[in-house]
Amino acid sequence: MINKSILNPSLETPIQRGLRDVTIKRLFILPTIILLILINIFPLFYSLFLSFNDYSALKSLQWGVNPKWVGGKNYLDVLTDPNWWESFVTTAKYVILAVSGEMIVGFLLALLLNREFKGKGIITTLILIPMMMSPVIVGLFWTLIYNANWGIFNYLLGLGQTNWTGDPKLNLYAIVIVDVWQWSPFVMLLSLAGLSAIPKYLYEAAEIDRASAWFKFWKITFPLVSPLLLIALIFRTMEAFKIFDIAMGITGGGSSAPMLLSIELYKLSFVRWYTGRSCAVAYIMLILIIAISSIYIKYLNKARA
Amino acid sequence: MAIRENTRKRVGLIISLIIVLAILIIYLIPIYWVVVSSIKPMTEVQTIPPKLWGFKPTIYSYVRTFTDRMILPPGEKIPPPEELAKLHWWERMSYVDGNMKVLKVSGLPSRLLNSVIIGIISTILAVTLGTLTAYGFSRFRVAGEGDWLFFILSTRMLPAVVVIIPLYLMFRTLKLADTHLGLILLYTCFNVSFAVWLMKGFIDEIPREYEEAALVDGYTRFEAFRKIVLPQASTGIAATVVFCFITAWNEYAFALIMTTKRAETAPPFIPSQIGVGGVDWGAIAASTLIFLLPVVILTVFLRRHLLRGITFGAIRK
């Protein structure tokens, strides 16, 4: 091994024992790359291929018949399907409600907690717990709270017998509330990080100039915290768009479930087995997610400049 | 002026503390309700109006969630006291409190075991691969490094929706569906990109001088990695391990679709216990809490480690 190292000058270090750097580099990096390509990239292309076919994974495989090439028909069918547009609108409504809720509650909490006091560590720990729970289980135990007859949600707020989980008109809002409950801490943590990084002397300087609290907020606090807020916004929007677990926990995915994109996709592919068409739906969702995050990121770069 | 400002600050502080306390209460009430529902006697779980306290706590719900029972058939009666004394305490409880007899262990323990096994193995694999890869990118020049790292991170951002259908088909063909190996492979893959990203951050922070000194002293590159870098990265590894395990433990969608019985983990199983013939809400509360307990414990004791991971490195304290 040493002989080869001396002769070949392209290696990192000229003389060494043991495995060469290049070997280690490849040995360390390659397995991960291969795993990711197998489980992420290959299925991505397979899915693309299937989206151009009329295929049902439930029926037996017969090339030419099942799957059968239909070009862009699946995409056309989806984009002209009023049901799909309804689920899109429902999901958009959900995203707007949930993300605004999380951002507002999280940011307010951060503003309130942005000072030194005893027990700050305990509160930070406690507030971290909801985020670390399995969303489906969170949805499930909230059904105990939301129960129309004996749940404490109705009881403590005096709402009578409102059926939060079973009524299709209401359960979207039920899911929003759970999502805000679970994820506002995320926004709060990021905002706190941003807020505590703002140097105190900026505020002191503003106070010398007798600036109002309003002025201090808009000219100092908000601009310096906004990059982190934007990260939180982007991340939560992408996640809210894909919402599945909490909704399944609360509604069980049955007929009373709201028409959210992920749930409809689940039903289409694993209940009705329209495999080809569901791949097309999945790709449309992917394009939407990429588009939304690109817009945000572009805005983030502009805001930074 | 100064005195007024101090009072104003004091009042502001008290108001914020009150608000914080109020919000804490709002956050803890749901948890309180679930805990309380799990220790209520079976008949008091669904009282109208709901009972917040003043009931006699019992762990019967936990017994119910771990066992399959059946109502005593018309001919049978509860065994007499001498026989009751010979049975296990949970069988006694079922007879006396619920008028039911215990048949066998429920499906919950096996699902929990699956969650544990699959969680631990996939975490070990993901963190190992992630640390190695992170070291590779951190210490060596790689052609197109930025692109590779972006690729790795983007797989984490990839919505499961696009890959879940083809993966299901692939697994079905390869006979990996509903196997522990299949799910382990899947979870390793999810977590490895995050592990690479996190570990690279940690390893980048370790000065290269130590390894270079070791290399001069005659260590091989691998020995330098093992004896110098790894110990210094141990906090980072702990953080990554905790985060990856919690992600695998909580995972629902893929477990739901890829498994049916053998390799089913707890998250898809617990909601499926909502049967048609009357729901045992106390038992559901109990199983929920059992499932959430490890995560709560990990969060409380390893808070610092988690903070960094979940905020994508924004918080480093």
Give the pLDDT score at B134.
Answer: 92
Q: Are residues B172 and B94 in the same domain?
A: no
Q: How confident is the model at residue B47 (pLDDT cuts 50, 70, 90)?
A: confident
Give the pLDDT score at B195.
Answer: 92
pLDDT digits over B190-220, tens only? 899 989 988 988 898 888 888 888 888 888 8
Distance from CA of A146 to the nearest CA of B (A): 10
Domain membership flag for residue B52: no
pLDDT digits over A128-145, tens only? 889 899 999 999 999 989
Domain membership flag for residue B251: yes
* CA B35 to chain CA mean position, Å: 18
Mean pLDDT within A154-170: 84
Q: Which residues of B75-86 are buried (b: 16+ CB within 10 A; e: fewer)?
A: eeeeeeeeeeee
Q: Are residues B190 and B304 in the same domain?
A: yes
- CB contact (8 A) between residue A144 and residue B281: yes
Q: Could you tell me the two tokens for B316?
A: 């480093």
Task: Give yes or no for a contact between A227 and A304, defined as CB atoms under 8 angstroms apart.
Answer: yes
Give the pLDDT score at B254.
Answer: 92
Average pLDDT score over chain A: 85
A-chain CB neighbours of B221 within 8 Å are 16, 18-21, 24
Q: Which residues of B218-250 are buried (b: 16+ CB within 10 A; e: fewer)?
A: ebbbeebbeebbbeebeebbebbbbbbbbbbbb
Q: For A254, which residue in chain B has the nearest alpha carbon?
A: B272
- CB contact (8 A) between residue B284 and residue A19: no
Q: Are residues B95 and B172 in the same domain?
A: no
Structure-token match 């580099």, residue found: A25
Give the pLDDT score at B3.
Answer: 66
From the list A225, A230, A232, A135, the residue with the least C-alpha distance to A186 is A232
User: What's the rounded Cα separation, in Å, for the pair B9 and B2?
Assistant: 10
Lowest pLDDT segment from A73-82, B16-25, B34-43: B16-25
- CB contact (8 A) between residue A36 and residue B142: no
Give the pLDDT score at A4.
Answer: 52
Distance from CA of B50 to the nearest CA of A (A): 5
What fold is seen in the domain A74-304?
A: MetI-like fold (1.10.3720)
The structural domain count of chain B equals 3
Domain membership flag for residue B46: no
Give the pLDDT score at A183.
Answer: 94
Give the pLDDT score at B291.
Answer: 94
pLDDT at A20 over 80: no
- CB contact (8 A) between residue A25 and residue B281: no
B-chain CB neighbours of A189 within 8 Å are 307, 310-311, 315
Which residue in A137, A284, A290 has the most chain B C-beta atoms within 10 A of its own C-beta, making it the best mutation to test that interface?
A137
Q: For A145, which residue in chain B has the nearest alpha carbon?
A: B30
Mean pLDDT within A251-269: 87
pLDDT digits over B270-293, tens only? 988 876 557 888 889 999 999 999
B-chain CB neighbours of A47 within 8 Å are 162-163, 165-166
pLDDT at A1 over 60: no
Instruction: Name the β-bridge partners of B101.
Output: B70
Give the pLDDT score at A304.
Answer: 60
User: What's the rounded Cα separation, in Å, for the pair A163 and A151?
Assistant: 10
pLDDT at B102 over 90: no
- CB contact (8 A) between residue A140 and residue B292: no
- CB contact (8 A) between residue A150 and residue B24: no
Give the pLDDT score at A179.
Answer: 95
- CB contact (8 A) between residue A40 and residue B163: yes
Q: How many residue pairs from chains A and B have C-beta atoms closer than 8 A?
A: 256
Give the pLDDT score at A25.
Answer: 83
Instruction: Name the β-bridge partners of A68.
Output: A54
Give the pLDDT score at A81.
Answer: 92
- CB contact (8 A) between residue B291 and residue A117: no
3-state secondary structure of A60: coil
Largest Cα separation within chain B, whole Å, is 86
- B180 C-beta neighbours (distance < 10 Å), count: 17
More confident residue, A146 or B81: A146
Give the pLDDT score at B18.
Answer: 82
pLDDT at A197 over 90: no
Give the pLDDT score at A22.
Answer: 79
Q: Is the pTM of this model over 0.90?
A: no
Give the pLDDT score at A228.
Answer: 85
Task: Give yes or no for a contact between A72 and A290, defined as CB atoms under 8 angstroms apart.
Answer: no
Q: Are residues B154 and B282 in the same domain?
A: yes
Q: How confident is the model at residue B119 (pLDDT cuts 50, 70, 90)?
A: very high
pLDDT at B314 over 60: no
Q: Are residues B16 and B142 in the same domain?
A: no
Distance from CA of A283 to the nearest CA of B (A): 6
Give the pLDDT score at A177.
Answer: 94
* CA A154 to chain CA mean position, Å: 29
- CB contact (8 A) between residue B165 and residue A50: yes
Question: In this structure, which amino acid lies at residue A63?
Answer: W
Which residue in B61, B162, B305 has the most chain A C-beta atoms within 10 A of its own C-beta, making it the best mutation to test that interface?
B162
Give the pLDDT score at A96.
Answer: 95
Q: How confident is the model at residue A10 (pLDDT cuts 50, 70, 90)?
A: low
Q: Which residues of B21-43 are buried (b: 16+ CB within 10 A; e: fewer)?
A: eebeeebeebbebbbbbbbbebe
Cis link prior to A9 (omega < 30° from 0)? no
Q: How confident is the model at residue B149 (pLDDT cuts 50, 70, 90)?
A: confident
Q: How confident is the model at residue B227 (pLDDT cuts 50, 70, 90)?
A: confident
* CA B115 to chain CA mean position, Å: 9
Range of the domain at B25: 2-38
Domain membership flag for residue B142: yes
Task: Give yes or no for a contact between A174 and A247, defined as CB atoms under 8 angstroms apart.
Answer: no
Domain membership flag for residue B179: yes
Domain boundaries, chain A: 2-51, 74-304
**SS3 of chain A: helix, strand, coil, percent, to 5:** 70, 0, 25
Q: Are residues B181 and B134 in the same domain?
A: yes
User: In percent, how much of chain A has pLDDT > 70?
Assistant: 91
Which residue in B221, B229, B284 has the most chain A C-beta atoms within 10 A of its own C-beta, making it the best mutation to test that interface?
B221
Q: Are residues B17 and B82 in the same domain?
A: no
Give the pLDDT score at A15.
Answer: 55
Mean pLDDT within A1-5: 50
- CB contact (8 A) between residue B140 and residue A21: yes
Distance from CA of A209 to the nearest CA of B (A): 16
More confident residue, B183 or B85: B183
- CB contact (8 A) between residue B34 and residue A151: no
Domain membership flag for residue B44: no
Q: Are residues B119 and B98 in the same domain?
A: no
Q: Are residues B254 and B288 in the same domain?
A: yes
Q: Are residues B129 and B102 in the same domain?
A: no
- B191 C-beta neighbours (distance < 10 Å), count: 27
User: In percent, how much of chain A has pLDDT > 90?
Assistant: 30
Residue by residue, what is the 3-state secondary structure of chain B? CHHHHHHHHHHHHHHHHHHHHHHHHHHHHHHHHHHHHHCCCHHHCCCCCCCCCCCCCCCHHHHHHHEEEEECCCCCCCCCHHHHHHCCHHHHHHHHHHCEEEEEECCHHHHHHHHHHHHHHHHHHHHHHHHHHHHHHHHCCCCCHHHHHHHHHHHHHCCHHHHHHHHHHHHHHCCCCCCHHHHHHHHHHHHHHHHHHHHHHHHHCCCCHHHHHHHHCCCCHHHHHHHHHHHHCHHHHHHHHHHHHHHHHHCCHHHHHHCCCCCCCHHHHCHHHCCCCCCCHHHHHHHHHHHHHHHHHHHHHCHHHHHHHHCCCCCCC
pLDDT at B129 over 90: yes
Domain membership flag for residue B47: no
Largest Cα separation within chain A, whole Å, is 84
Instruction: Name the β-bridge partners of A53.
Output: A69
pLDDT at A253 over 70: yes
Domain membership flag for residue B98: yes
Which domain CATH number covers B118?
A: 1.10.3720.10
